[in-house]
Every structure is written in C-alpha cells, then in structure tokens.
C-alpha cells in the first residue's frame, strides 16, 4: 500500500477546530488527513537544526512525508518537548519587539551525475527514512512511486526547482514491516501509542546552510490555507521575512537552560524569535530565509 505523500514542512494546518499542537485538513480520498506540524530552527555557525513534530489522522500505513534541505542532512530522533518548552517561553514572557522588518525569500545551486542517489537509509522509531540526491525530477518521482510514496503530477515542477538549486530530499514513512527498507527497532509502548494516536516520532534534520531557512515552497502543492508557526533560535536577531512577529527576545545561556534542557548549549546569548502567518498555497512560491538584521 502506498503512503499518501505529505510534502508539508513545519506547518500547522487549520480547520474549524484547531488543536494546540496542530489542526487537520481532511483528504477524504485517502485514509489520511494532512498532519499538524510545528518547527524549531536552531542556527549557529552555518549549521541549522530543524526539529519537526508531526501529527496526522488516519491509517499509519498511509502516512508519507518529504522534506527538502539545501544540503545533505543528518536525520535523528527528537523530542516534542522542545516545542512545548518554546511555546511556554514565548507565551509567558512575551516581550516582543515591534520591529518586524521584512526579510527575504531565496535561492541556490545545481549539479548532475546519476539521476538519483540514495545517500542513506535508516529507521528512526517507527519511521523509515531515506535521504535522496536527485538530478532529475522524473527519476525522483519514479523512485518515490516505486518505493510506496503516492506522488501527484503537480509535484514535478516544485521538485524541479529544488533539484536545480542542488537541494537534498529526505523521504519518510511509517514502517509497517513490509518491503525492503530498514527495519524499525522493536517498538516501545510509547512508540506504538504515538502511531495509534496520530503523532509520529519527532525528527531533527541537521544540515549546512548560509542562512536559517524554512522550506516553504514544497508546501504549495498541498493546496488549501495554512498557518505557519516557527520558533527560530539564533546568535543574532533575524528578519521575520514578512511573517507576523509574535516574539523576539535575547536570552542568556542560563535563561535558555532554564527554559529547556533540549536547546543546544552555548556561552553566548541567543535570540528566540516566534513568527506566524496564515497563507494560501498560491502564496507559497519561495522558501523563507531569515537573514541577520543589521544594527545588532
């Protein structure tokens, strides 16, 4: 059975009822509705850690997910507690700046050896993950189709744009025990409960990038309207890229350690920024970049 491909990255989908950790937009023609997701971007010294927590409703065997990154990522399990901690920090200590200077959208590189390269495959909790480097969108779509990811023809143009810029793709799906992919470790009770309840093992993708980036364009092919919720942690304050600024505050290393034990340690103060925006798919034409603001 093929997994309905969800190419949504770090979005909280809205319906008439919105949950604290994500709402849903139903896709009745499949057994799965779009997942609710929150994201944390931690960026320092040219390296980004993108933490994603995914929720979905429907059959776990129907769930599949594709995340593009500007360089080859290291994929690891993560904890949703980081998102909860940052939500609490930015709600209870809302000393937001009114300086919401707009930032930009961006672009990137190219390349062309084999049409498709499998760089890594491994199981993370109940997820089977595969890191792909593609040089041809048709070859990538063919690989996804043959490996159980249901791909709509509308995906091709968006994949072509990422391939032209030299981006890498991480494909993830729930490992139900069939197929030739990496076998999951024996499931713990917590992992089994996560899959049944519609929340998947959170993941963290770590990759090199010259500026904090949020892969927004890939989400455009899902259609509908989405509410973006991002927490961005950086050494210097960043532009909010035209999104609604909900929080921007500098915190000492001690303050961050008290806020969450899951934030990477640094001796320097870090800026925590929260941005949100509700956008139609038609407006998701480029990825979001968060360059450092001048004057700090």
b/e sequence 145-181, b meaning 16+ C-beta within 10 Å? eebbbebeeebeebbebbbebebbbbbbbbbbeeeeb
Q: Is residue 15 part of a domain?
A: yes
- Given a cut of 60, whether residue 155 has pLDDT beyond it is yes
Contact of 174 with 126, CB cutoff 8 Å: yes
Task: Report the mean per-residue pLDDT for the chain.
Answer: 76
Label residue 19 by pLDDT band (50, 70, 90): very low
21-30, 174-183, 192-201: least confident range:
21-30
Mean pLDDT over 249-254 rounds to 96
Q: What's the confidence (pLDDT) of residue 1?
A: 52
Determine the Cα–Cα distance for residues 247 and 97; give it in Å rounded to an integer: 7
For residue 140, the SS3 value is helix
278 in a domain, yes or no?
A: yes
Interval 75-81 mean pLDDT:
91
Does residue 296 fall inside a structural domain? no
What's the domain count of the chain?
A: 1
Does 20 map to a domain?
A: yes
Q: Are 179 and 170 in contact (CB under 8 A)?
A: no
Is the separation of the CB atoms in 124 and 203 below 8 Å?
yes
Nearest Cα residue to 252 out of 105, 93, 136: 93
Residue 294 lies in a domain: no
User: How large is the average pLDDT for residues 121-131?
Assistant: 90
pLDDT above 90 coverage of the chain, percent? 43
Query: How sure is the predictor about 99, in pLDDT bands with cuts at 50, 70 and 90?
Result: very low
Nearest to 228 by CA among 14, 24, 78, 55: 14
Residue from 292, 259, 272, 216 nearest 42 by CA = 272
DSSP state of 10: S
| pLDDT, tens digit, 9 for 90 and up, residues 169-184 | 999 887 765 555 555 4
Q: What is the token pair recorded at 153?
A: 């023809």
pLDDT value at 44 more than 80: yes
Mean pLDDT of the region 189-197? 43
The residue segments making up the domain with residue 35 are: 3-289
**Per-residue model confidence as pLDDT tens digits over 222-242:** 667 777 889 999 999 999 878
| Model pTM score | 0.78
Torsion over CA: 162, 213, 75, 58 (sign):
negative
What is the mean predicted confidence (pLDDT) over 215-226?
78
Residue 269: pLDDT over 50: yes
Residues 6+ apart with CB under 8 A from 233: 40, 41, 42, 43, 263, 270, 271, 272, 273
Q: Is the pLDDT of residue 87 over 80?
A: yes
Lowest-pLDDT choice from 147-151, 182-186, 279-283: 182-186
Mean pLDDT of the region 190-211: 71
Least confident of 30-44, 245-259, 262-276: 30-44
């Amino acid at each position: 059975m093929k997994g309905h491909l969800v190419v949504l990255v770090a979005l909280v989908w809205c319906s008439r009822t919105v949950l604290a950790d994500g709402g849903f937009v139903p896709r009745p023609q499949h057994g799965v509705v779009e997942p609710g997701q929150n994201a944390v971007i931690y960026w320092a010294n040219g390296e980004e850690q993108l933490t994603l927590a995914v929720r979905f409703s429907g059959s776990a065997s129907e769930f599949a997910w594709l995340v593009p990154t500007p360089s080859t990522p290291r994929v690891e399990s993560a904890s949703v507690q980081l998102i909860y901690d940052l939500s609490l920090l930015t709600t209870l200590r809302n000393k937001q700046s009114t300086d919401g200077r707009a930032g930009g959208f961006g672009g990137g590189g190219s390349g062309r050896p084999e049409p498709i390269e499998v760089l890594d495959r491994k199981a993370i909790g109940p997820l089977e993950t595969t890191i792909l480097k593609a040089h041809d969108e048709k070859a990538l779509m063919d690989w996804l189709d043959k490996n159980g990811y249901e791909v709509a023809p509308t995906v091709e143009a968006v994949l072509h744009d990422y391939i032209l810029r030299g981006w890498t793709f991480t494909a993830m799906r729930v490992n139900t025990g069939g197929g030739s992919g990496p076998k999951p470790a024996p499931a713990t009770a917590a992992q089994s409960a996560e899959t049944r309840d519609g929340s998947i093992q959170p993941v963290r993708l770590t990759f090199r990038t010259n500026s904090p980036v949020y892969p927004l364009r890939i989400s455009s092919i899902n259609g509908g309207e989405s509410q973006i919720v991002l927490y961005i942690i950086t050494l210097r304050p960043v532009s909010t890229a035209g999104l609604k600024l909900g929080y921007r505050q500098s915190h000492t290393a001690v303050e961050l350690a008290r806020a969450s034990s899951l934030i990477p340690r640094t001796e320097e103060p870090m800026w925590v920024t929260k941005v949100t925006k509700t956008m139609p798919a038609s407006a998701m034409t480029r990825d979001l970049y968060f360059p450092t603001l001048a004057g700090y």
